[in-house]
Structure 1
Amino acid sequence: MKTLMAFDYSLPTDPKPKVLVIDEEGNPITGCSFVEETYPNRQFVMSVPGVVKLVGDSDVVAAAMQTRVDVAADYDRVVGAGEWQVIWLDAPRESEMFKAAQQKRSSRIVANLPSITVLEITIGGEAAPKSPVH
């Protein structure tokens, strides 16, 4: 069973609020953009347990329910059918689980960077001046 972390991923300049879901390794699983009317239902849409009350008119409720089905299908496709549970993080940067996931992702990215080889090139019989690699 994988634990998926859902949290608000909006920037102040974003026209619509966003929610991102990552796994324990820091891999993005799925995300959603919301409009003002659907944003109060974000935890329901992301399948956070215990959230059952929906806010809004029948069109908003129908959209939230369909999006929840689509999001759960994303979870099943990426993680495995029924092999996930979702937690909501109000303050992801304060969560030890979130920090560990980000560290794992960063380590994996750094480990896969290509090696840098510094070559000394001779120009007209003289060695070119060495400069640090940035």
Structure 2
Amino acid sequence: MSTVINTTNAPAPIGPYSQAVLAGNLLFVSGQIAFHPQTGELQLQSIDAETRQVMDNVKAILTEAGLDLSAVVKTSIFLKDMGNFAEVNEIYGSYFTSNFPARETIQVAALPKNVNVEISVIAYKA
């Protein structure tokens, strides 16, 4: 059995998917891009601003599920340009303080809405 998780504090899906799905004790959060949830505008002023908005969207979905970033066990980061890795890594790292999740970072040819970064996570609900 699974439960769909949705919140107005993160952007609405732009396709046929849910913001997150809780299956057993695992929460699968769909890839987030830098849409501001209240304005619907992409936050593309800088890679820093873009990454912060993505991480804030992830946090909002986790919060709706009763979790926080400490519950994240796995992340996937998709970058349009691996040249942005250091900046994205610095912002991403500021959201985690200990017990860092497993992660991969992958350069891709393109991302939805021509953004520069997309991040998905898997969290464990004890």
TM-score by length of 2: 0.30
More strand by share: 2
User: Looking at both structures, which has the greater relative contact order when contacts are Cα pairs under 8 Å and sequence separation is at least 6?
Assistant: 2
More helix by share: 1
Structure (1 or 2) with the larger CA radius of gyration? 1
